[in-house]
Amino acid sequence: MLPDTTASKVTAAHLSRTALLYVRQSSLRQVIHNTESAIRQYDLRGKAIALGWDASQVTVIDIDQGQSGASAADREGFQHLVAEVSLGHAGIVLGLECSRLARNNADWHQLLEICAMTGTLICDEDGLYDPRAFNDRLVLGMKGQISEAELHFIKSLTPTPPSRARSGTCSPPSRPPGRPPPS
């Protein structure tokens, strides 16, 4: 059996529903300074059109700009996207990469499950996925794991705010074994 191609994944049933493009950057600093990322995200609208959606069917959800993907709790746009998928209104969800949608596995896998139940495709810069197909679901699951791990490492590399350092509520950095304390 031949693997699914992009053309065979998109059906008339998908095209009869809305294409949802989710655009998000984690901080206001990124929104202001990383304009290339925003342009790349909005350009995915063209990918939906190239896959067969009419331009009038593409809905851009970009109200979560400047908010972390660590939780869906305060992201109105993500909640709206999940609701639309749950109601069967979406034929495809587009995002630059999985981390734009969710950086925690609970939110990510909930979205994958709902997409699988409603027959909604997921598309990012790397490809087009059908969460009902085992191999696509496997790849999407790994992308979710990597996204959550990235958030963990980003948080671990973030320096302690000076206010916490002055108040003594953070621990000093550890020294490598055998290295004397600074004098």
Residue of 58, 40, 39, 56 whose CA lies nearest to 48: 58
Residues with Cβ < 8 Å from 30, sequence gap 6 or more? Answer: 37, 66
Catalytic residue, chosen from 8, 16, 26, 147, is 26
- Catalytic annotation present for 26: yes
Q: In 44-133, where does DSSP find H-type helix? A: 44-50, 76-86, 98-101, 105-118
Query: Are 25 and 37 a contacting pair, CB within 8 Å?
Result: yes
Are 101 and 82 a contacting pair, CB within 8 Å?
A: no
Q: Which of 94, 88, 86 is nearest to 111 (CA)?
A: 86
Catalytic residue IDs: 26
